[in-house]
Structure 1
Amino acid sequence: MKMTSTKMKNLLQERLNNPDWTFQYDLKQDTLRIIDIKVSKGVTVSIPGIVNKWEEHKEAALDEVIYYIEESLLALKRDDQLLGKEKEIFPVIRSTSFPTKTQEGKKLLTTDHTAETRIYYAIDLGSTYKLLDEDMMSEQGWRKEQIMQIATFNVRSLPEKVKQDTVAGNIFYFFNSNDGYDASRILNESLLNKYEKQIEGTMAIALPHQDVLIIADIRNETGYDILSEMNMSFFTNGLVPITALSFLYNEGELEPIFILGKNKPKRG
């Protein structure tokens, strides 16, 4: 059957049948917010992204989304004390369109990254994580600089699980550990510097969604088109999309680029 936003919304509500949870559907944004009434907090998901994943993976995609929502709602009830959990604080990359405040109006802890992306900070809770807000940080006696330093250090400890593919003479490296921090690996400068040294062409990076980081060794003009197509495909199917734009990387600097038609990159 043809999946629509309305059908997917109804499917999610059927699967998430819990007396403690209520739903708010935003027709304009096509998002569904699931709220735990006991803590007056919730999680919001984008329906079109889920529909795209369903078209490709059917029930497996729906199961993944349900798991993500359930774990996120459970995380809202867990202890968010930071003391003693320093090794579990990580940076999280999001689009600049991602909210900077919680639904309760608390300001999330953020740092500027690029014109397309922003850094948030989270405490890892095992199967999910919780974004840190400024009230939580100040109430527990932490400074923003401390959180930033700890998170930056911890991202370097993440395992380097990478797959390599060669297409039309261009080499692509995919980081897809599904640990929630694949995109965050772009903040590991030593990792990027390592690839910059071994790349023979032009180094480009894509951050289509939370669970993938693509590093590309562009060795001919066709490589730009291939990267653009890959990036858009991942972006469209990602549960937490970030950006469909790619970046050039040179000596620690990220520069957004648009791929125009026949593989001509335009600097952002």
Structure 2
Amino acid sequence: MKMTSIKMKKILEERLQHTEWNISFNRDKDIFRVEWKETRKGISITIPNVIAKYEQMGDAALSDLEYHVREALKIMNEVHDLTGKEKNIFPVIRSTSFPKKSKAGEWLIYSDHTAETRIYYALDLGNTYQLIDQAMLTKEGWTLERIREISIFNVRSLKSEPKKDTVAGNDFYFMASQDGYDASRILNESLLEEMKANSTGELAVAVPHQDVLIFADIQNNTGYDILAQMTMKFFAEGRVPITSLPFIYDDKKLEPVFILAKNKPTNDKK
């Protein structure tokens, strides 16, 4: 029987019962919301997206969603300090369309990265993390530059062990450690320079979603087509999608590119 928004709403209501939470459903926008009664901080869930994943993964998709919602709501009700937790501060890559404010209305701190991506900063809490906002920074008396330096240092300390796959004469390297910071490794300049030094063709880099970083040593035109298809597939499947556009890495710069079928890429001039 086909899953509908109303049926999914009822399933989520059963899974997300809590005496201190309010649950609401906007029928017009197909948005299901769970929030703390006292603070009104909460999470909005797009029902059609949940149904799509449910049809692919079944109950596993709902269990995964329930876990992340409960973890996120728990974090929203906690107060976290940065001092003494410097080793737990990491950069996270998001698309430029990602909100600049938290759901609670606090300004998130961020740095510019590329035309397609932006760098936010997170405090790692073990099973999840909290994006750092301006209020947290002000409370500690820290600067954005301090956060940036600490986070970049920490991302360089992460293991970077890509898996290699050769297709049609092109070498592809995948990093998917599932630690929440795979895409963040694109900020490790020494890693990028190492991959560039070892490439025999043009080096392309992609961060289609949070949990994967792809390097491509492109040695023929077919390689561009493969990379384009691969990046789009990962982008569509990612829990936190970033961008379907790969980048060409050259002269220590990342340039977003459109890859046209059977053709080499063209620079994104937007």
Q: TM-score, normalised by structure 2?
A: 0.90
Partner residue, 1:222: 222
Partner residue, 2:189: 189
Deviation at 1:47, TM superposition (A): 4.4
Q: Does 1:19 align with 2:19?
A: yes
Q: Does 1:77 align with 2:77?
A: yes
1:114/1:40 CA distance change after superposition, 3 Å = same
Q: Does 1:199 align with 2:199?
A: yes
Equivalent residue letter for 2:189? E
| Cα distance in 2 for residues equivalent to 1:147 and 1:227 | 33
Equivalent residue letter for 1:261? A
**Aligned pairs (5 A) from 1:115-126:** 115-126=115-126
Equivalent residue letter for 2:90? F
1:117-155 superposed Cα distances (whole Å, 9 cap, x missing partner): 111011000000001111210121111111111011011
Partner residue, 1:136: 136
Deviation at 1:36, TM superposition (A): 2.3
Q: Secondary structure at the match of 1:160?
A: coil
Deviation at 1:261, TM superposition (A): 2.7
Equivalent residue letter for 2:218? I
Partner residue, 1:178: 178
Deviation at 1:7, TM superposition (A): 4.7
Partner residue, 2:92: 92
Q: Does 1:265 align with 2:265?
A: yes
| Cα distance in 2 for residues equivalent to 1:29 and 1:213 | 33
Which range is displaced more, 135-144 or 39-48?
39-48
Equivalent residue letter for 1:188? N
1:149-180 superposed Cα distances (whole Å, 9 cap, x missing partner): 10110111112242221222211111111111
| Count of matched residue positions in the alignment of Structure 1 and Structure 2 | 268
Deviation at 1:187, TM superposition (A): 0.5
Q: CA RMSD in A?
A: 2.1
* Contact 1:49/1:236, CA 8 A, preserved across alignment: no
Choose between structure 1 and 2: higher strand proportion. Answer: 1
Equivalent residue letter for 2:188? N
Unaligned runs of 5+ residues in structure 2 are: none
Deviation at 1:24, TM superposition (A): 4.9
Which range is displaced more, 4-13 or 112-121?
4-13
| Cα distance in 1 for residues equivalent to 2:14 and 2:62 | 12
Q: Does 1:108 align with 2:114?
A: no
Q: Secondary structure at the match of 1:230?
A: helix
1:12/1:237 CA distance change after superposition, 3 Å = farther
Unaligned runs of 5+ residues in structure 1 are: none
